[in-house]
Structure formats: structure tokens, C-alpha cells
Amino acid sequence: MDSDRILIGDLLFILLIVGSNFVMYFITRSWTKSGDSRWMSALKDTFSKPVENSSNKSMDELRKRIAELEGKDWNKE
């Protein structure tokens, strides 16, 4: 008798979880399909940007320094 109650409780719990997932899925789907979904475009923009890290910054500094050196007239020495 106890095992039957445990089995019924487990099934009810699983159905509750699956049902809440379906409800959240449909809420999210209707929210994103509406005409005004700015947060989706902001999320896409965030993931499309390259990651700015220290190696990129040091390479930018190196490029600037090379551009400065190439701009100098070395024949005047």
C-alpha cells in the first residue's frame, strides 16, 4: 500500500514538473513572437561582439606604435 502511494506521488510530481515546463515554454514563445522583442536583439548583439581581452588591447597598442613609427621619416637621420 505504501509503495502505491509513493508511486502515485512520484507520478504527480513528474506531471507537475512537465506541465509547468509546457506552460513556461508557451509563455516564452508567445512573448518572443510579439512584435516588440528588444531583449532578443540585445542578446544577439551581445553574443555577436568579439570578446575584448588584454591580448586584443596589447595588439591595438602595438598597431598604433607601428603606425607611428611608419609615419616618421627615417631618411632624415
**What are 22-64's pLDDT values in tens digits?**
999 988 888 777 666 676 777 777 777 666 667 777 888 888 9
d(CA 77, CA 68): 17
CB 31 within 8 A of CB 37: yes
**For residue 43, how many C-alpha atoms fall within 13 Å in the half-sphere facing its CB?**
5
Q: Output the pLDDT for position 35.
A: 62
d(CA 71, CA 57): 21
pTM of the model: 0.43
Number of residues written out for the chain = 77
How much is the average pLDDT of 6-30?
93
Q: Output the pLDDT for position 23.
A: 94
- Helix, strand, coil in percent for the chain, rounding step 5: 85, 0, 15
Q: Output the pLDDT for position 19.
A: 96
